[in-house]
Amino acid sequence: MVLRGKILCMCMIWVISTGVSEAQTERVLIPAILMDFDAGVTTADEAYVKMLDVYNDGGIHKCSSPLHIFAHKHKNEISTSLLEPKRVFKQNSSFATYTSESGKFEFTYQTTGANAVPGADANSNGIPDYVEEAGIAADSSYKFLVTTLGYTDPIPAESTYEMFFEEMNFYGYAESYSNPGGPGTRIGLENDFAGFPANDDPDGDQLGALRVTVAHEFKHAIQFAQNNYQGNSDLWAEMDATLAEEVVYDGVNDYYGYLGGSGDVFGNPGATVIPGSYEDITWALFFHEKYGSDFWPGVWQRIEDTGASHSILEAIDQELSSRAMDYTASLLELYSWHFVSGAYSNVNFGFSESMVYPTPNAQRTDTQVDDVLSEDITLGRFSSYFLNVKPSSNQTGEASVLINTGSSDISLAVVALFKDESMTFAYAEPESGDYVVNEGWLWSDIERLGAIVLNENTDNPNTFKIKVSDPLPTSNELDDTKPKVTELKQNYPNPFNPSTTIPVSISKFQKVQVDVYDITGRLVRSVFNGTLPSGNHALSVNLEDLASGVYMYRLQTNDKVQIKRMTLVK
């Protein structure tokens, strides 16, 4: 198988009739509305009105930027009367402004009226603490996302970015507006976050919500700067912005409250993540944790470089390929990380915060191994199927899983959680038209086994049959192509300039770390730090920023360290 000027709108309030749906349903409704529009089922007017109804249903919503992004992207298709909704404008003499310490952000706020911010001023400098905290959050978000991670700067030279506060039923939003020579977007923030969901910020829920909202909406501003909300990146904008919350403010964890519903992988593995909403943050978080903090900046740079012609998934595939990582294998591991969460979490595999994530639902749970091939199972577009096997105490033999499918878009991985709290992970091998995992694991040693089936087709469903056996007859038991020992091999080409490939053979699923050191023993590059399944792997590394000379590269696993030399010649 191939794995492959000042803000006046702060005192404007939407006057829209409200619907009856609860805010919780937004996570399902907004993606569905966007998908119907993309499929031609609804017009731009109809989609826009439906989105308005969702955001104005009286509940609390995470972010209304998708509405503003849709309006910007399809402004020529939406009726002017809809884009200019009735607003109540009240001029108020209490306008004030504050510029953040960096000088990059200007906040417009009120201290009286419906849109007033909390008036506490602990340092008695005349600026409400709430506004100053927003300024700190904006500067921190800029520093981390732009300066540290290298995302495109959405603030042109000699300009400032505008933010304002208003009373609303969502955390915030970013909207485009005419600002020649300026950023082209501005951000609205909830004025006090009274009554909003709890989070883990040690300074309290209010500041926690404010901080992550600034990071979230500023990432929307970066998205606009990178590709003007074109292509299909808008479908993933909420997932991406919610990831920014976790990256900038890891300890707030506001996103915890949105996991485990019917629209995400934990609650419903069979739900597509296209479009990716904020409950899909863990889908994006996998790549951040597995491949490093430079992964998503690399993906978005590819989108910026190619414009509307490049989809998010294409950019992910290309970024993985540039790191000698396989697209399908990465997706299978991504969904496996979701399976090994909550009550099934394991310290050796999965998300760093998996213990506090929901225990995943499975489409099927077995307690008996019946060795019977299932009827056809239909798996929706770009989604997964979780089979959870909890073997009986008297189950004997070796664990095997087989899928039979006529689709090249269907693939399989299996994760086994053992009674001794160890775990292992394997991709399926092709076997006589089927895909089989048969690694010699004993059922008597297994606490729980998860079979993860992936349909990576982004447009259509596919079918498969599955069987869990004891064991399956397969020549994989005699497979001589799998490495018998873990080995670090000589890089190629060598000498090289500026990139080379480091081959690594892994005898069994395990934690692997590969690093490059200079001749003095100083670490100069981390090549890979994560888990790898049994097999031969090629890890790429680029030393363009380093001087010519001899370097050492080191493989470290649980039971051995191996070192070799390579030569960079410029």
Residue in 366, 507, 508, 511 with CA at minimum distance from that of residue 446: 366
> pLDDT tens digits for 324-381?
788 999 999 999 999 999 999 988 889 999 999 999 999 999 988 888 899 999 999 9
Does one domain contain both 521 and 469? no
Could you give the angle at the alpha carbon of 417 between the alpha carbons of 478 and 329, nearest 5°? Answer: 60
Residue 345 lies in a domain: no
Phi, psi of 257 (to 5 degrees): -70, -10
Whether 425 is covered by a domain: the verdict is yes
Work out the burial of residue 562: count CB atoms within 10 Å of its CB; fewer than 13 is exposed, 13-18 middle, 19 or more buried.
Answer: middle
Asked whether residue 534 is domain-assigned, the answer is yes
> Residue 146 sits in which domain range?
7-245
Do 34 and 153 lie in a common domain? Answer: yes
138 in the same domain as 31: yes
Asked if residue 533 and residue 470 are part of one domain, the reply reads: no
pLDDT class of 24 with cuts at 50, 70, 90: very low
Q: Among the three residues 446, 477, 508, which one is the final residue of a domain in this structure?
A: 477
Same domain, residue pair 188 and 68:
yes
CATH number of the domain that residue 549 is part of = 2.60.40.1930
Give the end of a domain, one of 188, 214, 245. 245
Looking at the domain assignment, is residue 337 inside a domain? no
Clarify whether residues 436 and 542 are in a common domain: no
Instruction: Among 477, 505, 523, identify where a domain stops.
Output: 477
Alpha-helical (H) ranges within 270-326 are: 281-291, 295-306, 312-322
Residue 27: the pLDDT is 55
Helix 65-73 to helix 26-38 angle (10° resolution) is 10
Do 82 and 210 sit in the same domain of this protein? Answer: yes
Q: Are residues 464 and 560 in the same domain?
A: no
Is 222 domain-assigned? yes
Residues 230 and 371 in one domain: no
Q: Is residue 143 located within the same domain as residue 186?
A: yes
Average pLDDT of the residues of the chain: 87
Number of domains in the chain: 3
Q: Assess whether 458 and 542 both reside in one domain.
A: no
3-state per-residue secondary structure call for 347-369: CCECCCCHHHCCCCCCCEEECCC
* Domain co-membership, 222 together with 137: yes
In a domain, 256, yes or no: no
pLDDT of amino acid 405: 93
The pLDDT tens digits of the residues spanning 156-202 come to: 999 999 999 999 999 999 999 888 888 999 999 999 999 999 999 99
Say what the pTM is: 0.83
Measured at the CA of 452, the angle between CA 474 and CA 331, to 5 degrees, comes to 110
In a domain, 353, yes or no: no
The CATH number for 423's domain is 2.60.120.380
Range in 495-499, 535-539, 552-556 the model is least confident about: 535-539
Question: Does 331 fall in a domain?
Answer: no
